[in-house]
Amino acid sequence: MPPNPANSHEESWDYVLSKIEQYPETPYWVQWQSIVRPLISGCVHAGYSPLFRAGMSMHDIIFSTVQRYGLKPNELRVTMSITEEWAIKFRFGQGLKGIGVHEDVKIAPPEEAFVTLTRFLQQLWMESVSEPLPEILRSKPVN
């Protein structure tokens, strides 16, 4: 997959959504898209796109607070992947899955994914940005 050419956080989410649409129309990828697309779109609609950069590594979705394209191994991120059972696995920490340190891992069914991702993004913000948690993240109902 070519590098994400997006300059802004918002453009990075648009880029990820456009890449999701380019996956083949096979039963596996149609199912994958039906889980990932609404979650990413829901985050954009909720106002998360100005706060976080979105990217892809193969078919994992990665969120960070860095301003530039490309994460260094020691930079915090939330990585999202789809399991064989069609649940969503979220990882918070440094490095990519299987490489580096993951401090927190949670598997959620698609209907709980937005709340789970919000919780992970709140944690990402609090541990990687020196500014207070933005209202858009504080106002989200998180269990």
DSSP 24-44: --SHHHHHHHHHHHHHHHHHH
Q: What's the whole-model pTM score? A: 0.84
Query: Given the structure tokens 């050419």, which residue do they identify?
Result: 5
Token pair belonging to 124: 């990402």
Contact 78, 66 (CB under 8 A): no
Are β-strands 53-57 and 60-64 bridged in parallel, bridged antiparallel, or unpaired? antiparallel
Query: Over the stretch 111-127, which tens digit does the pLDDT of each residue have?
Result: 999 999 999 999 999 98
pLDDT, mean of residues 75-102: 80
Query: Over the stretch 35-84, which tens digit does the pLDDT of each residue have?
Result: 999 999 999 999 999 999 998 887 889 998 876 666 665 678 899 999 99
Are β-strands 88-94 and 76-82 bridged in parallel, bridged antiparallel, or unpaired? antiparallel
Can you tell me the distance from the alpha carbon of 20 to that of 108, in angstroms, rounded to the nearest whole number? Answer: 20
pLDDT at position 116? 93
pLDDT tier, 3 (very low <50, low <70, confident <90, very high otherwise) = low
